[in-house]
Amino acid sequence: MKKFLSIMALAFLSLNASAQDQLIPKPVSIKITGGTFKIPGNLSLAPGLPVKETEYFKQKSGLSFGESGKTEAQLTYIKLKQPAGAEALNESYTLEITPDRIHIISYTDQGYFWALQTLIQLLEEHKADKTIPAMKIQDQPKLAWRGMHLDVCRHFFTVDEVKQYIDYLAMYKLNTFHWHLTDDQGWRIEIKKYPKLTQIGSKRKESMIGAYVDNTFDGKPYGPYFYTQEQVREVVQYATDRHITVVPEIEMPGHALAALSAYPELACTKGPFEPATKWGVFDDVFCPKEETFTFLENVLDEVIKLFPSAYIHIGGDECPKTRWKECAHCQELIKKYNLKDEHGLQSYFIQRIEKYVNSKGRKIIGWDEILEGGLAPNAAVMSWTGVNGGIEAAKTKHFAVMTPGAYCYFDHYQGDPQAEPNAFGGYTPLDKVYSYHPIPEELNAEQARYIMGVQANLWTEYITDFRQVQYMIFPRIMALSEVAWGTSQPEKYKEFEGRVIHQFEKLDRMHVNYAKSIYNISGKVIPAAGGVAYELSTSQNPSGIRYTLNGKNPTIQSMTYEKAIPVSASSTIQSAYFENGQLKSAVSSQQFTVSKTTGKTITLEQQPSENYAFGGAFTLVDGIIGNPRQLGKTWLGFQGKDVVATIDLGKNTDFTEVYFNTLDNKGSWIHLAKSAQVYASDDNSHFKLIGEANKDDILKAGGKMKLKVGQQMGRYLKIRIENAGIIPAGNPGADSKAWLFVDEIGAL
């Protein structure tokens, strides 16, 4: 009898697991109630179900349907009367599955739709056995803005592809589609009053290809590509039917080259201009003169008629002030309105646009640079450079959407950069997305109310077709959805990863080109006696990892990974995952260059930018030389800051050379170091200058610095690497703080 009860208990637990373990995003509450619902060959629907939502369900569920007649309906719905002021309940729902029927309760058709999304996943999960465990799910999202962004300016995607993108959002209960429609490289929306925007601005003579540092182009005309207003209406309606809000972005005052190519009179100089063929940031921006505001107001009039969203995104990011500094009209405006400087002029620009948008019954949202010079009164902030923009906005009672690059930029690498397609840079694997907490701890409960939600962004400089779009968002969109829904548990990442892998079966059936990066070997350098050790992991059974130390590709006969691999001398570790004797992953390769600093304790006076912090200070002594063509994982990035690092060698050590690399990638605002100084000390208090390099030395070396310091002896090594400072005129991002990227600091 006890054995029978144990078997029953295990069966019950199995039902519980199968019901909830595969759902993404995980619901707030699931209660298994006993029994099962047999999936019928013809599911009978109650009369009066919401039409559009139910039609969607019919298309996506894979079932056959019939209206209830003599038999009781198997899918029913009750729409409750919503209490006044209870907007937070708009997306809530209860999904109750009994042995006889499926019953949905919600306050809105939107809640009903999200319940159907959960039901679709349950049907997919139990397709084979044709039964669903009886259960009661009570669910609602934590955050109101759950968004995905798509840049169609660098590379264009068809209406059908944009609709597919929207379907992906709906699958995982994301409710906001941020459509980036204008930029330097292309104007993608028809504006009837200004036909040259698409006649001229929707095409470019060629496109940059490969890594940015290669500075190569394909020589092929691109475009004209744009969406007609009828196509825009079609997309907006398609999204609306799926309870997704489309937020359009019309960039201003920067990222305006495509518009200025069509209407050069809107610039501070005469031009001529052409849509950009390179990626990056450019000096020519909208001039804040009356004809510019008239133009933008007319454009916004047409945009507002097409998009019913409460918010209109006006960009506001990366606006160099070079032209404004040289423009007599701009300088006169600064004097006339008693503005502090060109940053004040940007605030003036944004506030004028905001007043106009508000007069049309809408609100503006912009990237966090709209905080420069003072935030417009009713504006919302999209915090991308980190979390500080969102924190500042919330503390001043402005709404914010959190989208920091370190967690939410899906154009970053998601696996070992050497095994991934070329990407913009950065390193944002699935577990990092899943670890994000959108509401900053610095905010109290009242301030936290101003965090509307979270969003991930997909910029498409290096994404040339829709299969690559799929690759970059899947599976990271699943992590975003659970973070946004509010049920993520980073401490249980492996459980989530298991659900993700299970979802791959569905993506295979949908022919989605998802990234399999989590199957590949992930390597992490950790401190160890005598240097460092290389820790390998995979989403699969770690006993399947094989590796070599001689740079050769591993085979099933190679060494089996058991624990972190000690690295005490320069070497190349190759690793891969095998299953049933077959190679199941890409081969990962990591070269180590061991020096007297490798694995030693290091401290930084100033920390790197959150977007480019990776392994923190230890990255500079982990034995890995950075690849200048891949800004992922091996470089630390500092904006407007010097690098001042102190390395404790552990004991008095002799050395004759100190080396490090900095990058030159001006299109991305990355400049070589301005100077460098090296110091040595026995006590970490009294340091002696032992070597230095000036700007010419660094330029001549191309940033690859090897400083001969003579015969030295010391326990502590300090190096100061000076940031280039403010970017000079004539460079992308002029008048902004330069980025300094540094990799390994070694000593020989």
Q: What is the pLDDT of residues 324-344, one digit of tens each?
A: 999 999 999 999 999 999 999
**227 and 360 in a common domain:** yes
The per-residue pLDDT for 722 is 97
Is the pLDDT at 8 greater than 70, yes or no?
A: no
Mean pLDDT of 173-190: 98
Place of tokens 């803005």: 145
The per-residue pLDDT for 69 is 62
Of 139, 156, 185, which one is at a domain's C-terminal end?
139
Mean pLDDT of 34-62: 93
The per-residue pLDDT for 127 is 86
Does 178 qualify as catalytic in the annotation? no
Least confident of 2-16, 479-493, 593-607, 702-716: 2-16
Place of tokens 């050590």: 653
The answer as to whether 342 is a domain residue is no
Is the pLDDT at 573 greater than 90, yes or no?
A: yes
pLDDT band at 106 (very low <50, low <70, confident <90, very high): very high
CA separation for the pair 239, 261 (Å, rounded): 32
Q: What is the pLDDT of residues 55-101, one digit of tens each?
A: 999 999 989 887 766 568 999 999 999 999 899 999 999 999 999 99
CATH of the domain at 581: 2.60.40
Single out the catalytic residue among 183, 342, 497, 743: 183
Place of tokens 């989208």: 403
Least confident of 52-61, 366-375, 459-468, 718-727: 366-375
CA separation for the pair 107, 84 (Å, rounded): 12
The per-residue pLDDT for 14 is 40
Mean pLDDT of 530-549: 91
The per-residue pLDDT for 7 is 35
Q: What percent of the chain has pLDDT over 70?
A: 96
**489 and 359 in a common domain:** yes
Q: In which order are the strands placed within the sheet that holds 29-38?
A: 29-38, 131-139, 93-97, 102-106, 75-79, 43-45, 65-67
Does 491 qualify as catalytic in the annotation? no
The answer as to whether 447 is a domain residue is yes
Instruction: Return the closest-CA partner of residue 285 out of 733, 746, 639.
Output: 733
Q: What is the pLDDT of residues 652-671, one digit of tens each?
A: 999 999 999 999 988 788 99
Q: What is the pLDDT of residues 628-649, one digit of tens each?
A: 877 777 899 999 999 999 999 9
Is the pLDDT at 10 greater than 60, yes or no?
A: no
**DSSP character at residue 727:** P
If DSSP codes are grouped into helix, strand and coil, which group holds residue 557? coil
Of 568, 592, 616, which one is at a domain's C-terminal end?
592
**83 and 160 in a common domain:** no
Of 506, 529, 559, which one is at a domain's C-terminal end?
506
- Buried/exposed 221-244: b ≥16 CB within 10 Å, e otherwise: ebbbbbbeeeebeebbebbebbbb
Single out the catalytic residue among 255, 343, 398, 412: 255
Is the pLDDT at 1 greater than 60, yes or no?
A: no
pTM score, two decimals?
0.92
Single out the catalytic residue among 318, 354, 369, 744: 318
The per-residue pLDDT for 13 is 37
CA separation for the pair 564, 533 (Å, rounded): 6
pLDDT band at 18 (very low <50, low <70, confident <90, very high): low
Residue 649 belongs to domain spanning: 601-747
**225 and 125 in a common domain:** no
Q: What percent of the chain has pLDDT over 90?
A: 81
The per-residue pLDDT for 683 is 96
**Burial class of 745 by CB neighbour count within 10 A (0 to 12, 13 to 18, 19+):** buried
Strand ranges (E), 440-539: 451-456, 522-528, 531-537
**577 and 611 in a common domain:** no
**184 and 108 in a common domain:** no
How crowded is the C-beta side of 495, counted as CA atoms within 13 Å?
15
The per-residue pLDDT for 20 is 55
**462 and 536 in a common domain:** no
The per-residue pLDDT for 21 is 67
Mean pLDDT of 249-254: 97
Least confident of 152-156, 511-515, 570-574, 623-627: 623-627
CATH of the domain at 128: 3.30.379.10
Number of domains in the chain: 4
Does 318 qualify as catalytic in the annotation? yes
The answer as to whether 512 is a domain residue is no
Average pLDDT, the chain: 93
**189 and 306 in a common domain:** yes
CA separation for the pair 6, 172 (Å, rounded): 36
